[in-house]
Amino acid sequence: MKRGQSGFSLFELVVAMGIFSIVSVLVFSFFRYGTRAFHQAAAKHGLQTEALRIAESLQKELKRTNESTVDIVHDSRALSLDGQTVHRDVICFATLKNWHDRLNTNNFDLESRAPLWNRYMVYYATMEPKGRLIKLRVDPAPPPEAPTRLGTTDLSRLYYDNPQANRYAGSMPSYSVLSPNVQDFDIARSSSSPGAFDISLKLKQKHPKGSVEPGARREFDFYELQLTVRPENSFP
């Protein structure tokens, strides 16, 4: 039986709908794959950026200090997570409120140009299962006359899991949270570079929702870096 010039047979309509359905499934699959890949890449990039920002801050501050002011809390900061031992260490060292204002007599001796060490910086990782990296600023009054370590008793009050519980001279020091994703923060004196410190940082972050295929084993993203930093300030 012949059909009109503008009409379609039922068979042609079914074939056209089938082809359209196949093309739609392919387009949707490519779109879904691209979206998933984008979210995975964005999450990994965010974790990497976070780790590099922490490393840059710690490296810059630690290089400016005198090695004699550096104190580390390591042995009591071990934690068992997912069947492995990680560390949530503490590092404290003397620094300045402002390294750039060399005419400020609160920061520098104008005759010798020696820094006056009016601040202690404390970096520590909390002992919570999902650790945070905290940066603490402690301003002693009056500041020490020479580059010395912060007292052990004072330091022991400056690395609570709740940073608002930290106290120095009865007051809460200012702080910032550098990362909410710390898995491991391990610090030790370098065995290969005298006067330097080996720092290991590992961040852990859950995959974005929907980015893991059914049956996939990996649930988290990790980013790890190691650096060795030597304090370079030699002023007495």
Identify whether 4 is part of a domain.
Answer: no
Would the pLDDT of 158 be above 50? yes
* pLDDT per residue as tens digits for the range 91-130: 999 999 999 887 888 888 888 888 899 999 999 999 999 9
| pTM of the predicted structure, to 2 decimals | 0.79
Mean pLDDT of the chain: 85
Q: What pLDDT, on the 0 to 100 scale, is given for residue 133?
A: 98
Number of domains in the chain: 1
Residue 212's pLDDT is 47
Q: Within a domain: residue 1? A: no
Question: Which pLDDT value is given to residue 209?
Answer: 63
Low-confidence winner among 186-190, 205-209, 228-232 (lowest mean pLDDT): 205-209
Indicate whether 205 pLDDT > 60: yes
Considering only residues 219 and 32, tell me which one the structure prediction assigns the higher pLDDT: 219
Mean predicted confidence (pLDDT) in 22-45: 56
pLDDT for residue 114: 86
Cα 117 from Cα 68, distance rounded (Å): 12
Residue 234 lies in a domain: no
Asked whether residue 5 is domain-assigned, the answer is no
What is each CA distance from 63 to 58, 66, 144, 211, in whole angstroms? 8, 8, 19, 40
Question: Residue 221 is part of which domain span?
Answer: 11-229
